[in-house]
Structure 1
Amino acid sequence: MTTSPVAQFWSEFRVNRVAVVALAIVVIIIAVSFVAPWITPQNPYDMASLRLSDARRPPGFVSPGTGMTHWLGTDGQGRDVLSAILYGLRVSIEIGLAAGVIAFSLGVTLGTFAAYLGGRIEALIMRFIDLQLSFPAILLALVLAAVLGQGKWQLVAALVTAQYAYFARTAHGAASTERSKDYVEAALSTPLKPHVVVLRHILPNCMPPLIVVATVQVANSIALEATLSFLGLGLPVNEPSLGMLIANGFQYLLSGRYWISIYPGIALIVLISAINLVGDQVRDQLNPRLRR
């Protein structure tokens, strides 16, 4: 009986129980965050529903005005921290996925066609990519976020510009290897258009390393977004993210009100760590040299 590639991949993946648990955590976090408006007791960014008398209350506090139990406490504006975390997770995941998909598309297109075309075009594209990779991604993201201003799509544009070069470099390396193989030369000897050869023959064989990079870069996008929001260069106040939630409670840490920053920080660490654990397992399976 022939096993499909997906079934074979999953049978190898589930051997690593840590990776399976990490994948389950990622799926649960994504599912819970996207149904947050229906399961949270409060819309933490509806200013009319906030009570300043409930501000900075410890975990387990029951509001006398609403009867709501704040299981993780409240922040400086009276927001329920649990509700704010779930809303913030949704925003962070949306931005991380959007930036990852756009950076993947742009970087893979540049890297693959540079390897296919060769010559001066390849040299020009890849030297520009190398120049960009010489700067830390956080530095580029900071500069672009400061120039473009606050907003969801401005932040996505900053993250894409800071990260697409990693996809381009990986795609170029894989495509250069595939370009020299016999099956590509055979495809070029037929009356196929260049973009058809690239999309149907070269690109599918470059996907394994690109999938690994994509997994890592989504986690990096979420971390970068949180960093920018923490520094005040990310999203505006009415579009919360985990980084902004951590920043809101930073001033209260020394006064003992740890929950305002600590719980959003734990949620961010769990999400990024789970994605990275899944990415490590995917890397091990797609690279025979790294298989345990």
Structure 2
Amino acid sequence: MTAFWKEYAENRVALVALAVVLLVVAAALAAPWIAPQDPYDLANLDLMDARRPPGFVGSSGYAHWLGTDAQGRDLFSAILYGLRISLQMGLVAGASAMAVGALLGILAAHAGGWVEGAIMRVVDLQLSFPAILLALVLVAVLGQGKAQLVIALVAAQYAYFARTAYGAATAERQKDYVEAARATPLPGWRVVLRHLLPNCLPPLIVVGTVQVANAIALEATLSFLGLGLPPTEPSLGMLISNGFQYMMSGRTWISVYPGVALIIMITAINIVGDQLRDQFNPRLRR
């Protein structure tokens, strides 16, 4: 583990990206204590403070350093709470998609035969469709809400994990120690848990890091289009959407600041994922 972190620290860009990710997570977790306003509390909102520029001192007596949105919410507070929602949706959807995809991929590699063919044909068929298109269709059918959005994101992303787990498990299945384990009276699930799954985790972790960022981007896209979270949830995508109609009138801060926060978070997570990929698979190192 020490050697792993020593190698990671040699990449200054990845180290800065990791620090940014940790800072974003810490800010999101501490939002109820560091945010000057609770954007969920309608009693604290004043429509007279709506669409005020950065630095405006509102009716509550404190300065809105990033301005306010169309509902009079302090934009800095809304961004902090939006980070919480974006990270929550990304982590839950990414972990769920990893669990479903890894189960299907390892099952296909271990079972073989018609089970392998059926699972992987479905996975290959789904990979031929854009993830955003599938998510749009599912959200339109299921409706708005966190649970519905997580289901749509999992359905749109599990195939990446299934293909990765299948490739790793197929390579391990052909090795002598796995063949010896399968020849023993051990049940199949023990062979999967003790031999196949541990060796599939490194590539799954790398894909999971990237897919968390993709899930955050998908959620922001769906919320921007009005098909993601409900308007009462100040996600980053919803904040960008709320301010988009005021861009031409010069009130750019309503969309720009949440957009910058979203870009910084997604870019930092992707850089961390690229570094993990290089360390787990040196042959892909640039």
Shorter-chain TM-score: which interval? over 0.9
Aligned residue in 2 for 1:224: 218
Q: CA deviation at 1:189?
A: 2.3
Q: CA deviation at 1:271?
A: 0.2
Q: CA deviation at 1:186?
A: 1.2
The equivalences for 1:161-176 within 5 A come to 161-176=155-170
* Whole-Å separation in 2 of the counterparts to 1:154 and 1:79: 26
Q: What amino acid does structure 1 have at the position aligned with 2:207?
A: V
Structure 2 residue 129 is matched with structure 1 residue 129: no
* Whole-Å separation in 1 of the counterparts to 2:202 and 2:82: 31
Aligned residue in 1 for 2:26: 31
The answer (yes or no) to whether the contact 2:39–2:234 under 8 Å persists in 1 is no
1:147 to 126, 141, 146: 141
Aligned residue in 1 for 2:113: 119
* Whole-Å separation in 1 of the counterparts to 2:164 and 2:225: 30
The equivalences for 1:1-292 within 5 A come to 6-63=1-58, 65-291=59-285
* Whole-Å separation in 1 of the counterparts to 2:32 and 2:183: 56
Q: What amino acid does structure 1 have at the position aligned with 2:214?
A: N
**For each residue in 1:240-277, what CA deviation from the matched residue of structure 2 results, as whole angstroms up to 9, or x when unmatched?**
21000000000000111010000000000000000000
The answer (yes or no) to whether the contact 2:83–2:236 under 8 Å persists in 1 is yes
* Whole-Å separation in 1 of the counterparts to 2:176 and 2:60: 71
2:248 alignment partner, SS class: helix
Q: CA deviation at 1:103?
A: 0.3
* Whole-Å separation in 2 of the counterparts to 1:9 and 1:218: 22
1:237 alignment partner, SS class: coil
Q: CA deviation at 1:76?
A: 1.1
Aligned residue in 2 for 1:3: none
Q: What amino acid does structure 2 have at the position aligned with 1:271?
A: M
Q: CA deviation at 1:205?
A: 1.1
% of aligned pairs identical?
A: 70
* Whole-Å separation in 1 of the counterparts to 2:284 and 2:111: 31
2:258 alignment partner, SS class: helix
Q: What amino acid does structure 2 have at the position aligned with 1:274?
A: A
Instruction: Return structure 1 stretches of 4+ with deviation > 4 angstroms.
Output: none
* Whole-Å separation in 1 of the counterparts to 2:126 and 2:75: 39
2:194 alignment partner, SS class: helix
Q: CA deviation at 1:48?
A: 1.3
Q: What amino acid does structure 1 have at the position aligned with 2:199?
A: N
Unaligned runs of 5+ in 1: 1-5
Q: CA deviation at 1:291?
A: 3.2
